[in-house]
Amino acid sequence: MTEARFDLQHVLDELKHLLPSQTPIKDFIHHNSLHAYQHLPFFEAIFKASSFAGYQVTLQLSEFRELYYSGRIRKDALLKVIKNRKGIADQDIWLHHLLNTDYPLNRDPLIGRLRSQWKKIYAIDLDHHVQPLLFRILCSYLDQGITIWPFPLNGQGFIESVRNLESSSMTSLFKTSRGRNLLANKDITVQELLNILVGDEQYFTQYLFDQQFSHPGWSGIVSAIEQAPHTLMDSRAISLNELILFELILEIDALEDQIGRNWKSLGSHHLPAPIDLFADQKSTEWMEVLKLWQEAFEWSYYDEVLSGIRLAHKQSKPINKHKSFQAIFCIDERECSLRRHIEQEDQYCETLGMPGFFGVEFYFQPEHGKFYDKLCPAPVTPAYLIKESEVKEKRGHEMLYKKETNNLVFGSFATLVLGIWSGLKLGLTLFRPKMSPAISDAYAHMGRTSVLSIENSNPSHRENNLQIGFTVLEMTDRVEAVLRNIGLIEQYAPLIYFVAHGSSSANNPHHGAHDCGACSGRPGSVNARVMATMANHPEVRKSLKDRGIFIPDYTQFLGGLHDTASDQIEFYDEVILTPTNSIEHQKHLASFDRALDMNAKERSRRFASISTRKNIRSIRRSILKRSVSMFEPRPELGHGTNTLCIVGRREMTQGLFLDRRAFLNSYDYRTDPDGHLLVGVMRPLGPVCGGINLEYYFSRVDNYRLGAGTKLPHNVMGLIGVANSCDGDLRPGLPLQMIEVHDPVRLLIIVEHRPEVVLKAIQSTPEMYEWYINEWVKLVVLHPESKDYYYFEGGQFNVYEPLNVSIEKLEDMNTFLESAPEMETNYIVDATKEHLPVSILNS
C-alpha cells in the first residue's frame, strides 16, 4: 500500500474487507470477528490485527497467571506446551518468562496516527466536530422505523439525497460556504477532496483507513448494506464511497469553520513517513509468551475432554435395538445438556444432532408478512419459499410502543391519560413479568397450527423467482441427505422428533444472537416442521425405499421447538399421530418435561438469582420468568463457554458431562467409509461453529473494541444496531452480558474417522481448509479402530497422547450440579469457578 498511485477502488475493497461485517442487528449472524485475517495463521493474524487497531487479542498476561494459580491452567499442560514449542532445554527460561517477567506494554495502534496530526498541528479534534452530525444523518437515512418524520429520500442514493436536502432547504448542514459548495458540486470526487485535505497522494490510503476506522461501526454497517441491500426491510442505497465523500466534505467544513481560511493540507506540513498498515511484523517475546499461555489454557481443557471421551467409549453400552423414540436436535451446544438429560430419563431413546435447519433451505413468509425470512445458514441462498396460512393466533399490539406517543398531540394525550396506565404497566412488568407482544417470542415465529406450503406439485408455481414448496423429488433428496449424514439409516423408532430451537427474551436487541445460527439467527420451528412433514410424506417414503432407506410405516416424524431461554418444548402437527403413537407421544412428553426440569436446574447454577438447590418447580418458574422479564439482561447465556465440536456417534460422548460446551454433530463413520458424506457434514462447521466460537472469543478478550460492551446503556439506533450514546458509533459484536462466562479458547473439533479420510474431507475446498491449516479451529481425529487420537497440525495428522487427566465419576447429578460455586464477579478467574470438570455419569 505504499505504492505511489492511489487507487480508490482498491482502497474501498480493502476497507470493506476489513471493516466489521455485521449486518443490521435483527439478523444477527455469528462470524469470526477478524474474518479479514483468516488467510493467515491464527496467532500471526491476531497480533497483526492488534497492532493495526489496538485490539486486545488474548487474555491479559495477568489473567493467564491468575488462571494458572487458580488451577484452571494445568501445570503439566503448560510444561508440555513449552516443551513442544521451545524445546526442553529452554523450558525453565520460558516458564520464568510466563510466570514472572513483566512486559511493559503500551499498544500504540497503527491506525489513527496520520489523522492525529490535525490535533498536533491545529489543536483541532476533527472527530468531535464531524462525527455527531455525520452519525445522525447516516442513522436518519438508514432508519427503519424510529423517526416520526422520514428522511426526505430522492431515490438516488445517499449523497444525492443529502445534496437534495441541502439544496432545497433554507438552512444548511454546513457551517461554511466552502462545505456547501463542495457538496453542491455533483462531479466532486474523493480524490479531489483528499487533494484538499491531505495533499500528498502517498498519504491518501492511510488517511482513509484512519478516518473509517475512527468509527468502524458505522462504516461497517454501510459497507454491509452496500454489499447486501436486501438486509434492510426498508431498503436504502448507500455506499462506502458516498460515506467517505460526505465525511471528507464535513471535515473540510469543520477545518474551515474552526481555523478559518488559513489552513493547509496535512501533506504540506512535515509528517512522519506513511505507514504500511499491513506490514508483516516480527514476533516479540511477549507475543510468544501469550501464545504459550493461550495454548496451555486450551490444552488444559482439551486434554481433559480427550481423556473423558476415551473413558466414555470404554463405558459405552451397545445401544438397545428397540428404541422408544429418536430425537434429532440442533448441534447447538445448548442442546448438549438437554440430550444428556433426556437419555437419563428414557434409557431407550436415542438422540442425534445436526445443524438446526435440518437440511431444508428456504425463505419463509409468515401469513400477511410483507417480507421473507431466510431460514438456513447465512452463506446459502435458497431457491424455495414456504408460505404460511391459516394462522389462528392474533398478534397483539402495545399502545405504549407506538411512536406517536412521542409526537406533540398524541403525546400530550398519552402523558395525561396513559401516564398512570404506564405506571401500572411498569409495576406489572416488575412484579408479574409475562409474555407480551413486545417480547421476542420464539413460538410466535410461526403459528402453532398454521398451514405451510411445503409440497410443490407444479414447479411453475413461483413467486419472486422462488419456487413455492418442494417437489417430491426435492423432498426425497433432502430427507435422504439428512438421514444419511447423521447415520440414521436403520433401526427407526416409532416416533422421530426434529427438535429445533429458538430463544425468547425481553428488552434484548441482541435476541437474534440467541436464536439458531443455522437458521440465520431465527428460531428453527418452520424447518423442523417442514422436515418432519417431508419425511412423513408417503411418496417420499416410497422413493426413499427405492434408494435403500426403509422407514417402517408405523414410524412418524414430528417437528418441535425448544425454547433455550424458557426451557419449554412444543411439538407441531400432533394430530397426524396414529392412536398408538399418540399414546407413546404423551409418555415421551412427560420424559421431555422431566429432562427440561433437569436442564433448567443445570442452567440455574449460572444464574445468581436462582438457587440451584430450590425445588424444581420453582426453578422452572424462575427460568421461565427470566425469558419474559424486561429487567433481565441475561435471559440466557447464549453460546457462552462453547469450546468443542464432536462429529461422530453418540457412543463417543454418551454419559459424558461436557457442561454444555460441545456442539454435537451425529455422524457414523461406518456408513461412510470413504468420507463422501463427511465433506458435507464438515463444511458448515467452520463458518457456523467456528464463527460462533471466534465471535465469543474476540468479544470476550476485547469487549470494548471487538465486542459491544455492556448492554446496560445501549440505545437502539434506527432499528439497525445499538450504540452507547446519542452521538456514539454503532457497536457490533456481543455485549458483555453474553460473554462473561466464556473461556476464550478456540474450538476443538473431534471427528471419529480415519485421519486420511478426514484430511481428504477438509482439503476438499480451500475455504474449508483455511479454517484448519491456519488453526482458527483445532482438529483432533479419533481413529475408530485403534482408538488413537490424531492431532492436526502443519498439514498433517500425528498421533497425540493426551495428558492423563483423571475423570470424576458422577453418582448423582443433582448433588453434582449443586456443588458448583457461584461466581462472585464476572472477572475471568471468578467467572470460571462456575465451570464444572468433565465427568462421567455412572449409569
Partner 1 sequence: MMNLVLQCFILLPLAAFLLSFMFPSKREQLLSGWVLSTSALHLLGLLLFLILWILDGAPLLDKRHITFYHTEDIEIFIDLYFDRTTAVFSFIGSIMMLLVSLFSKTYIHRDPGFKRFFVTLLFFFTGYNLVVFSGNFETLFIGWEILGVCSFLLIAFYRDRYLPIKNALKVISIYRIGDICLMLVMWMSHHLWHENITFITLNDTALVANHLLEHQGYGVFIALMIFLAAAAKSAQFPFSYWLPRAMEGPTSSSAIFYGALSVHIGVFLLLRTYPYWESLMIVKVIIVTMGILTTLIASNIASVQSTVKTQIAYASVAQIGLMFVEVALGFHWLALIHFSGNAMLRTYQLLISPSVLSYRIHDMMFHFKPKVESKKNAYFARLYHTFYMLGIQEWNMDHFFSVLLWTPAKKIGRSVSFLSTRFFIILLSFIYLSGLVLNIYRESISIDLIEFLPFVYSVIGLLLLLKAFSFRGNAIASWLSVFSAQLFITLGVVFLNEHFGFTEIGLLLSGSIASALIGYLTLRKVYQIDQDIQLNRFHGYVYEKPILAFIFLLCCLGMIGLPFTPSFVGIDLLFSHIHKHQELVIIFTSISFLFFEISVLRIYARVFLGPHKKEFHPIAFKSS
- Distance, in Å, from the CA atom of 327 to the CA atom of 350, rounded to the nearest integer, reads 6
Check residue 426 for interaction with partner 1 (CB under 8 A): yes
Cell readout for 148 is: 416520526
Question: According to CB under 8 A, which one of 3, 4, 5, 171 is a site residue for partner 1?
Answer: 171
**Which is nearer to partner 1, 60 or 814 (by Cβ)?**
60
- Distance, in Å, from the CA atom of 603 to the CA atom of 494, rounded to the nearest integer, reads 31
Report the Cα 682 to chain-centroid distance in Å. 18
**Residue whose C-alpha cell is 475512527:** 214
- Distance, in Å, from the CA atom of 272 to the CA atom of 535, rounded to the nearest integer, reads 67
| Residue 408 neighbours by CB under 8 Å, 6+ apart | none
**Which is nearer to partner 1, 96 or 107 (by Cβ)?**
107
Which part of the chain contacts partner 1 (CB under 8 A), choosing from 50-58, 380-388, 492-500, 669-677?
50-58
Cell readout for 290 is: 501469550
Interface residues for partner 1 in 587-646 (CB under 8 A)?
Answer: 608-609, 629-634
Residue type for position 503 = S
Question: According to CB under 8 A, which one of 724, 763, 764, 832 is a site residue for partner 1?
Answer: 724
Give the pairing of strands 373-375 and 466-468. Answer: unpaired
Check residue 753 for interaction with partner 1 (CB under 8 A): no
Check residue 379 for interaction with partner 1 (CB under 8 A): no
Interface residues for partner 1 in 538-567 (CB under 8 A)?
Answer: none
Which part of the chain contacts partner 1 (CB under 8 A), choosing from 12-20, 54-62, 341-349, 671-679?
54-62
Which part of the chain contacts partner 1 (CB under 8 A), choosing from 199-207, 212-220, 579-587, 689-697?
212-220
Inter-axis angle of helices 216-227 and 8-18, nearest 10: 100
- Distance, in Å, from the CA atom of 755 to the CA atom of 753, rounded to the nearest integer, reads 6
The dihedral sign for the CA sequence 597, 600, 604, 610? negative
Question: According to CB under 8 A, which one of 640, 709, 744, 802 is a site residue for partner 1?
Answer: 709
Burial per residue of 522-557, b for 16 or more beta-carbon CB atoms within 10 angstroms, e otherwise: bbbbbbbbbbbbbbbbeebbebbeeeebebeeebbb
Interface residues for partner 1 in 383-412 (CB under 8 A)?
Answer: 395, 398, 400-401, 403, 405-408, 411-412
Nearest distance from residue 111's CB to partner 1, in Å?
10
Check residue 511 for interaction with partner 1 (CB under 8 A): yes
Question: According to CB under 8 A, which one of 326, 351, 566, 703 is a site residue for partner 1?
Answer: 703
Question: According to CB under 8 A, which one of 155, 260, 272, 318 is a site residue for partner 1?
Answer: 155
Nearest distance from residue 163's CB to partner 1, in Å?
12
Check residue 140 for interaction with partner 1 (CB under 8 A): yes
Which part of the chain contacts partner 1 (CB under 8 A), choosing from 142-150, 532-540, 571-579, 582-590?
142-150
Check residue 322 for interaction with partner 1 (CB under 8 A): no
Nearest distance from residue 165's CB to partner 1, in Å?
5
- Distance, in Å, from the CA atom of 195 to the CA atom of 592, rounded to the nearest integer, reads 68
Check residue 824 for interaction with partner 1 (CB under 8 A): yes
Cell readout for 322 is: 428397540
Which part of the chain contacts partner 1 (CB under 8 A), choosing from 315-323, 426-434, 526-534, 563-571?
426-434
Check residue 415 for interaction with partner 1 (CB under 8 A): yes
Interface residues for partner 1 in 442-481 (CB under 8 A)?
Answer: 444
- Distance, in Å, from the CA atom of 263 to the CA atom of 209, rounded to the nearest integer, reads 22
Interface residues for partner 1 in 80-119 (CB under 8 A)?
Answer: 104-109
Question: According to CB under 8 A, which one of 5, 71, 100, 149 is a site residue for partner 1?
Answer: 149
- Distance, in Å, from the CA atom of 113 to the CA atom of 100, rounded to the nearest integer, reads 33
Check residue 281 for interaction with partner 1 (CB under 8 A): no
Check residue 150 for interaction with partner 1 (CB under 8 A): yes
The dihedral sign for the CA sequence 555, 558, 564, 569? negative
Check residue 821 for interaction with partner 1 (CB under 8 A): no
Question: According to CB under 8 A, which one of 33, 211, 214, 453 is a site residue for partner 1?
Answer: 214
Question: According to CB under 8 A, which one of 79, 153, 237, 679 is a site residue for partner 1?
Answer: 153
Nearest distance from residue 841's CB to partner 1, in Å?
31
Check residue 369 for interaction with partner 1 (CB under 8 A): yes
What torsion do the CA atoms of 383, 389, 392, 394 make, to the nearest 10 degrees? Answer: 70
The dihedral sign for the CA sequence 347, 353, 356, 360? negative
Check residue 701 for interaction with partner 1 (CB under 8 A): yes
Residue 354 to residues 160, 336, 483: CA-CA distances in angstroms?
48, 12, 10
**Which is nearer to partner 1, 81 or 730 (by Cβ)?**
730
**Which is nearer to partner 1, 652 or 708 (by Cβ)?**
708
Burial per residue of 688-713, b for 16 or more beta-carbon CB atoms within 10 angstroms, e otherwise: bbbbbbbbbbbbbbbbebbbbbbbee
Nearest distance from residue 59's CB to partner 1, in Å?
10
Nearest distance from residue 91's CB to partner 1, in Å?
26
| Residue 669 neighbours by CB under 8 Å, 6+ apart | 648, 649, 752, 753, 754, 757, 784
Phi, psi of 373 (to 5 degrees): -105, 130
- Distance, in Å, from the CA atom of 338 to the CA atom of 564, rounded to the nearest integer, reads 10
Check residue 133 for interaction with partner 1 (CB under 8 A): yes
Interface residues for partner 1 in 347-366 (CB under 8 A)?
Answer: 366
Q: Nearest Cα to 790, choosing from 814, 805, 772, 810? A: 772
| Residue 302 neighbours by CB under 8 Å, 6+ apart | 748, 778, 780, 802
Q: Nearest Cα to 145, choosing from 425, 414, 406, 520? A: 406
**Which is nearer to partner 1, 142 or 646 (by Cβ)?**
142
Question: According to CB under 8 A, which one of 20, 54, 560, 691 is a site residue for partner 1?
Answer: 54
- Distance, in Å, from the CA atom of 653 to the CA atom of 600, rounded to the nearest integer, reads 21
Which part of the chain contacts partner 1 (CB under 8 A), choosing from 271-279, 299-307, 505-513, 764-772?
505-513
**Which is nearer to partner 1, 50 or 568 (by Cβ)?**
50
Which part of the chain contacts partner 1 (CB under 8 A), choosing from 53-61, 77-85, 464-472, 532-540?
53-61
Which part of the chain contacts partner 1 (CB under 8 A), choosing from 6-14, 502-510, 635-643, 661-669?
502-510
**Which is nearer to partner 1, 214 or 599 (by Cβ)?**
214
Check residue 173 for interaction with partner 1 (CB under 8 A): yes
Q: Nearest Cα to 220, choosing from 702, 716, 730? A: 730
Check residue 417 for interaction with partner 1 (CB under 8 A): yes
Nearest distance from residue 173's CB to partner 1, in Å?
6
